[in-house]
């Protein structure tokens, strides 16, 4: 089955700097890769996702890149702000077949003002 | 206002009691999921259902049970057989059909068993 590894587990950056979180996956059939942001005491919220037919996707300060050959994908947050502080999860799944998403263990991002 | 609701937000039970966590969605999604979250463990799948009256075990189903009698509802029962039930429980739903469409999460229920 699919296995998703996420690094680092914790990340501290200065406000205005960039943050990068990396994930690797094992199942070459996975073709859908979402990222979620979870604030304290709340459920995760989908912030961006990418499908395997593209290599990069951007949404304002957030971007995700995908390298299918190496089976890894990354979340990039530029110009970080204190409200970016949260736990971020990556996940991997297939768009064919009824298999649920598999999640990484999360990265706790702290943006220091 | 569409979304996923979980109730209650906090739940306290004595050891040895069964407890049922509620999850309701009005997104007309076919698929629903239950996850358990512990510190440093990420999201672990307990059960999922791709369609009404059908569900499958996830990675950590032991000590839990579910039902899916209605499309909108997917309650989770934490039984007395679950050895370490204290955790944050998250319900999610997705359009379903063939594969991993976007999943949307509820606000979670924090269960404490003493």
Half-sphere exposure of B12 (CA within 13 A, CB side): 1
Q: How far is CA B24 from CA A14, A45, A65, B62, B69, in A?
A: 40, 17, 34, 23, 12
Quote the pLDDT of residue A95: 74
Q: How confident is the model at residue A11 (pLDDT cuts 50, 70, 90)?
A: very high
Mean pLDDT in chain B?
A: 92
Mean pLDDT over all residues of chain A? 94
Residue B67 has pLDDT above 60, yes or no: yes
Cα separation, A74 vs B5, in Å, equals 30
pLDDT in tens, A35-46: 999 999 899 999
Confidence band for B2, pLDDT divided at 50, 70 and 90: low
Q: B99 vs A89: CB contact, 8 Å cut-off?
A: no
CA distance B43 to chain A (A): 6
* pLDDT for residue A97: 61
- The residues pairing with A67 across neighbouring beta strands, listed in sequence order, are A72
Tell me which residue in A46, A94, A97 faces B104 most closely, judged by beta carbons.
A46
CA distance A97 to A75: 26
Average pLDDT over residues A61-81: 97
Q: Say what the pLDDT of residue A52 is.
A: 83
Inter-chain residue contact A89 with B42, CB threshold 8 Å: yes
Is pLDDT at B1 greater than 60 in this prediction? no
Which residue from B minimizes the CA distance to A29?
A: B99
Q: How many CB pairs under 8 A join A and B?
A: 63
Among the partner-chain residues B42, B98, B100, the one whose CB lies closest to the CB of A106 is B42
Does any CB of chain B come closer than 8 Å to the CB of residue A89? yes
Chain B residues in contact with A42 (beta carbon < 8 A) = 107-108
Backbone phi and psi for residue A97, each to the nearest 5 degrees, phi listed first: 90, 150
Percent of chain B surpassing pLDDT 90 = 82
């Amino acid at each position: 089955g699919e296995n998703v590894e996420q690094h680092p587990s914790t990340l501290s950056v200065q406000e205005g700097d960039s943050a990068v979180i990396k994930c690797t996956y094992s199942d070459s059939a996975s073709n859908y890769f979402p990222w979620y942001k979870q604030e304290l005491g709340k459920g995760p919220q989908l912030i961006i996702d990418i499908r395997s037919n593209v290599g990069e996707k951007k949404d304002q300060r957030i971007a995700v890149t995908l390298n299918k050959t190496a089976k890894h994908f990354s979340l990039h947050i530029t110009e970080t702000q204190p409200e970016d502080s949260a736990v971020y999860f990556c996940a991997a799944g297939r768009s064919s077949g009824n298999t649920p998403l598999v999640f990484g263990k999360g990265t706790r991002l702290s943006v220091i003002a | 206002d569409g979304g996923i609701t979980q109730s209650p937000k906090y739940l306290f039970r004595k050891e040895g009691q069964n407890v049922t966590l509620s999850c309701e969605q009005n997104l007309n999604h076919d698929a629903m999921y239950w996850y358990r979250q512990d510190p440093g463990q990420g999201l672990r799948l307990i059960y999922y259902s791709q369609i009404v009256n059908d569900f499958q075990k996830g990675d950590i189903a032991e000590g839990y049970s579910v039902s899916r009698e209605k499309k909108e509802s997917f309650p989770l029962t934490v039984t007395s057989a679950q050895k370490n039930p204290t955790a944050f429980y998250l319900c999610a739903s997705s359009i379903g059909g063939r594969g991993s469409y976007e999943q949307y999460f509820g606000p979670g229920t924090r269960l404490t068993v003493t």
